[in-house]
Structure 1
Amino acid sequence: MKLSPSLSDWRISLPWPGPDTHKHQRGRLGVVSGRAHQTGAARLAARAGLRIGAGVVRILCPPDAAAVIAPAIEAIMLTPFGSVEALTEAVEGMDAVVIGPAAGVTDATRANVRALAATGAALIVDADALTVFEGWPQDLFEVLDRDDVLTPHEGEFKRLFPGLLEKGREAAAREAAKRVGCVVLLKGPQTLIAAPDGRLAVNDNGTPWLATAGTGDVLAGMIGGLMAQRMDSFDAARAAVWMHAEAARGFGPGLIAEDLPERLPSVLGALYDARS
């Protein structure tokens, strides 16, 4: 695979295992699932996190979803939780947690986000976990810190930052990251990654093959998998966006979200071989 000459400096930060590395040193990632009829998105995110190198990946699910998820996973672990307190206990020791993919736009999701923010795990807040704070964005912003990442598409961005996109996408992303105090990844044909200190990255290898359901869930899991390996949040977001697009480009027409994690080994292999 030919690598783009415009690859950013995130390459030097990619976490590669050494000869003595064991699974817990490669990071522990949690992914919160929705209810029994909404489990596919979390499974996509979890598989992507595992493929990108997280040593241990665990899906955290409502009790009614456990019987659905269990037959569909192998190396990924599973822990049901029935309360906010049980969720907090389940994520003890985790490095990063993805919440939002098909989590449900419910009071429970809002409470789960706030509880997770107090655990010390870095958060990747996506999809329903963004939408659920429409009308109350400050309730989300006040619990986040610089290690967290928000991953809205433009519709979700507008719900959290009404009117901000009128300034233009780049200015809006920068202002949003500054306002929230964490990394904001604004998805689109040219995905933008903004840090709260004013840094802005524009992804340069977008592809229309990603315009299909579930690809955003995969991206959230990829970011989470890199962050679980203690990669800086801004670098992890930049790296995941580029690899996500590169995996899609390598597959081409007919891509569905399930294909993306299976393309990651070839993308990672090319990056590994190109180390200088």
Structure 2
Amino acid sequence: MIQHITPDSAMRAALAKSPEAHKYSHGHALVLAGGPGKGGAARLAARAALRVGAGLVTVLAPQSALAENAAQLTAVMLDPLPDAFSLRGILQDKRKNALLLGPGLGLARAQEMVPAALWGQRATVLDADALTAFADDPERLFNHLHPACVLTPHEGEFARLFPDLAEALRTGALPRPEAVRQAAARAGCTVLLKGADTLITAPDGAIAQNGASGDQAAPWLATAGSGDVLAGIICGLLARGFAPFDAACTGAWLHAEAARRFGPGLIAEDLPEELPAVFRALGL
């Protein structure tokens, strides 16, 4: 049975913050960035992670891209990340509890960094380049994945990782919910398939849908960087301690609701800035 995501009391309670808590109570999210000229997607995601309530967010960028990112970041922190060995060192700090890899990362950097990130056994969102980098050998990615991961493909990325399921979808041999359910079982982690009606499936078969069509339509989400913001929201929720399936479901709803509230003219930069209004409307 497909659960339809709604802002119920459980979601409100999970999103609320205790007045006695401090920033270290809400996790430290790491967003890996690509080289010079490619950092915009990671910065969008990092801003979203911070807006959704992660206590601290750090962008990890190559040395050659530090100046560019430093010129754009203020509340989001910035550190150099030259190689995968260094990432393993960073992950010795257990307070850094959630990662996002993919937006603007670059395929070669993704192939290097994803195994190191997954070695750390942290809650991890993989999007964009972190998925496409393994299109030639999806099993190489699946062998590293663990239950605290969330994959956030659009239909093209889904087809690169799960070509047989995508073909079954194309021919009508499998309905969309069943294809996503099988993908999550194969990957051993939560899979969120983006679309007007986003589907989220856990490896145990739990499935939810976030409708953004009909009277809930959010057509202005069809803009560059929107998916990067969604990935950042989910990463921020993971940092706050949300379970992977719950983070994906809550993130999908917040993402679409922010777009609905903003309305026509939306660009990706607007989405994180609309989250405070969404929270106020939820009574947080």
Amino acid paired to 1:29: A
Secondary structure, aligned partner of 2:120? coil
Residues 85 and 13 of structure 1: CA distance in aligned 2, closer, same or farther (over 3 Å): farther
- What TM-score do you get using the length of structure 1 for normalisation? 0.94
- Separation in 2 of the partners of 1:256 and 1:137? 32
Residue 106 of structure 2: aligned partner: 104
Q: 1:120 offset after TM fit, Å?
A: 2.4
Residue 185 of structure 2: aligned partner: 178
Residue 139 of structure 2: aligned partner: 138
Of 180, 190, 202 in structure 2, the residue corresponding to residue 195 of structure 1 is: 202
Q: Deviations over 1:73-106 (max 9, x none)?
A: 1111101111211122224321110000010011
1:228 corresponds to 2:245: no
1:261 corresponds to 2:272: yes
Q: Deviations over 1:228-263 (max 9, x none)?
A: 011111011000101100000111111000000000
Amino acid paired to 2:103: P
Amino acid paired to 2:28: R
Residue 126 of structure 1: aligned partner: 127
Q: 1:110 offset after TM fit, Å?
A: 1.1
Runs of 4+ in 1 over 3 A off after TM superposition: 4-10
- Separation in 2 of the partners of 1:10 and 1:60? 33
Q: 1:272 offset after TM fit, Å?
A: 3.2
- Separation in 2 of the partners of 1:272 and 1:138? 44
Gaps of 5+ in 2: 169-173
Amino acid paired to 2:282: L
8 Å Cα contact 2:190/2:200 also seen in 1: yes
Residues 10 and 242 of structure 1: CA distance in aligned 2, closer, same or farther (over 3 Å): farther
- Separation in 1 of the partners of 2:43 and 2:10? 27
Amino acid paired to 2:187: V
Q: 1:5 offset after TM fit, Å?
A: 9.7
Q: 1:12 offset after TM fit, Å?
A: 5.2
Greater mean alpha carbon deviation, residues 85-94 or residues 52-61: 85-94
Q: 1:6 offset after TM fit, Å?
A: 4.1
Residues 202 and 9 of structure 1: CA distance in aligned 2, closer, same or farther (over 3 Å): farther
1:44 corresponds to 2:51: no
Q: Deviations over 1:15-68 (max 9, x none)?
A: 422122110111110000010110000000000000000000000011111010
Residues 175 and 155 of structure 1: CA distance in aligned 2, closer, same or farther (over 3 Å): same
- Separation in 2 of the partners of 1:150 and 1:59? 20
- Separation in 2 of the partners of 1:15 and 1:249? 19
8 Å Cα contact 2:5/2:210 also seen in 1: no
Q: Aligned runs of 1:19-58 on 2, under 5 Å?
A: 19-58=19-58
Supply the RMSD in Å over aligned alpha carbons: 1.6
Residues 114 and 64 of structure 1: CA distance in aligned 2, closer, same or farther (over 3 Å): same
8 Å Cα contact 2:33/2:42 also seen in 1: yes
8 Å Cα contact 2:101/2:125 also seen in 1: yes
Residues 212 and 19 of structure 1: CA distance in aligned 2, closer, same or farther (over 3 Å): same
Residues 5 and 231 of structure 1: CA distance in aligned 2, closer, same or farther (over 3 Å): closer
Secondary structure, aligned partner of 2:204? coil
- Separation in 1 of the partners of 2:221 and 2:274? 13
- Separation in 2 of the partners of 1:51 and 1:199? 28
- Separation in 2 of the partners of 1:224 and 1:232? 11
Q: Deviations over 1:133-181 (max 9, x none)?
A: 0021011111111111000000000000002032231111000000111
Report the identity percentage: 48
Secondary structure, aligned partner of 1:124? strand
Q: 1:10 offset after TM fit, Å?
A: 5.1
Secondary structure, aligned partner of 2:267? coil
Q: Number of aligned pairs?
A: 269
- What TM-score do you get using the length of structure 2 for normalisation? 0.91
Q: Deviations over 1:257-276 (max 9, x none)?
A: 00000000011122234xxx
